[in-house]
Structure 1
Amino acid sequence: MAHRLLMRRIWTLSAKEIRYLPASFTAISSSSFSTSLQPSSPSASFLSPSHNLPRTSRRQVSFNVQDNEDFTERVINSQLPVLIDFHAQWCGPCKILGPRLEKAIAKQKGRVAMAKVDIDDHTDLAIEYGVSAVPTVIAMRGGDIIAQFSGIKEDDELDSFVSKIIGK
């Protein structure tokens, strides 16, 4: 059982975590543990610190708001314009709009951020910003609301909305 948990933890490690494992960890061996972590050949050395793992430089397009302090820090105090996607897990149109909005924001290559606020988890934020229907998207810059819309939009309308936010 412990061996299974250990293997599960190893397989879920990120590339960065694997790179910094202590050398003693890669040489784990036990008489009861039939699958040794010690590589049998240099090509099978997935835990070797010298092995270069592929790196991806994915920029975080959006983030989930955790609480009011997180909202203040990452949205209101943001240097970038921020689109706030007020949504709910049970909302069908929200599930359609969310990925479209992320795609429109990704096209801007870091000139705008997107915060996701689940209205069931953060009812106080939804009330504070007058959200009466979901999905509702509010654009903020420097803590001020500069634009907003409710409901679903087509991809070209979202691209236009995001472009206007950056240009304001």
Structure 2
Amino acid sequence: MENSVLHVNTKTWDSEVLKADLPVFVDFWAEWCGPCRMVGPAVEQIGKVMAGKIKVAKLNVDESQEIAMKYGVQSIPSLIIFKGGKEVGRTIGAMPKESYIRFIENTLAKA
């Protein structure tokens, strides 16, 4: 995994996501989830393409169930944008990289 994507968990969630200087695009995923594996490469590319504008993180819902529950993540992949410690946008399901980038740009333009 490239360092363009940060792996977060219960211990690092607050410092890496909620207190981040940049907006954070978080991929809620699990090892056993087929669509999640399809989304993985797109998420990594977004981390490279949008470096400096946003942080990109992945959270394994099996390893960090408390956080998934806290944000009401019931379907994966769920991709949520956090800005200033608050959720500002959410999309569910696999999409092409371009669709995620449009979602990120549109969400941050309104946030």
* Displacement over 2 Å in runs of 4+: 162-168
Higher relative contact order (CA 8 A, sep 6+): 2
Displacement of 1:165 after TM fit?
4.1
Give the TM-score, by structure 1 length.
0.60
Once the two structures are superposed, what CA deviation does each residue of 1:7-52 show, in whole Å capped at 9, x if it has no partner?
A: xxxxxxxxxxxxxxxxxxxxxxxxxxxxxxxxxxxxxxxxxxxxxx
Specify the alignment match of 2:55 in structure 1: 113
Consecutive unaligned residues of structure 2, counting only runs of 5 or more, are none
In the alignment of these two chains, the number of paired residues is 109
Deviation at 1:74, TM superposition (A): 0.6
- The answer to which structure has the higher strand fraction is 2
* Shift of residue 162, structure 1, vs aligned partner: 2.4
Give the whole-Å Cα distance in 1 for the aligned partners of 2:97 and 2:22.
22
Amino acid at match of 1:93: P
1:83-109 Cα shifts (integer Å, max 9, x gaps): 111000000100111210221231123
Q: How has the CA–CA distance of structure 1 residues 71 and 142 changed in structure 2, closer, same or farther, with 3 Å as cutoff? A: same
Q: RMSD over aligned Cα, in angstroms?
A: 1.6
**Equivalents in 1 of 2:62, 2:3: separation in Å?**
24
Per the alignment, residue 77 of structure 1 pairs with 19
In structure 1, what is the equivalent of residue 79 of structure 2?
137
> Which sections of structure 1, spanning at least 5 residues, go unmatched?
1-58
Identity %: 28
The answer as to 2:106 corresponding to 1:164 is yes
